[in-house]
Amino acid sequence: MKVYKWIDSFFNTYQKRKRNLTILVSLFWIWQYLWQILFFLELNQVKDYHSLFSFMQIMDGYSASYLIQLTYHMIAKGTLSFINMAESLTSLFSFSYFFWALLTLLFCLQTNKRRLMLFGLFNLAWLFMILVLLGTGFNSSSIEDLVSVLHYLSIMGLMGSSFSLGYLLFKFVQLCCIYRKK
């Protein structure tokens, strides 16, 4: 019974539930961005034909990130179109991703702050740039063109993921400091 009361002490007020939801969602997105940074660092190593195919062999190891799974599924389709993107989204959408999407939506609705909106818009713009570069990569006529597009994709991905991870870590540390004071 002591364990139950101890666990209940973390969720017994609205503020504690809100704070714990924020911590949970932040940790999930920090985890996602860490995997994306590792992926884009590995993608930056692609310089020629052989390194491209060796990269494709180890790409399955990055299945912890939803964006990477989506990208891999779209590469397997072979063309970039709205229909293929929708098929990829629906085929990869499981209960766990629905749960995290719902938690993220609840988090965004309960913290209608301007910085969060700017962060979300930055991530949408970053995702759009990645999709444009993927579309350019799908339409490339040679391996050299594809490797150069992948190089730009890795740089854009690293910059966006690093910025997002830095922002989330800053907010997470700030939240933990506030949590510790109370």
pLDDT tens, position by position, 104-137: 777 776 666 777 777 777 877 887 787 777 777 7
pLDDT tens digit sequence for 61-101: 777 777 777 777 776 776 667 777 777 767 767 767 777 77
- Among 63, 55, 120, 135, which Cα is nearest to 92's? 63
Residue 65: how many other CB atoms lie within 10 Å: 20
Q: Which helix (H) or strand (E) holds 91?
A: helix 82-92
- Contact, 61 vs 69, CB < 8 A? no
pTM of the model as a whole = 0.77
- Among 13, 64, 10, 3, which Cα is nearest to 39's? 64
Residue 42 and residue 63: Cα distance in Å, rounded? 14
Label residue 162 by pLDDT band (50, 70, 90). very high
| Residue corresponding to tokens 């970039």 | 80
Rounded (10°) angle between helices 82-92 and 66-77: 130
Give me the mean pLDDT over the 20-49 stretch.
86
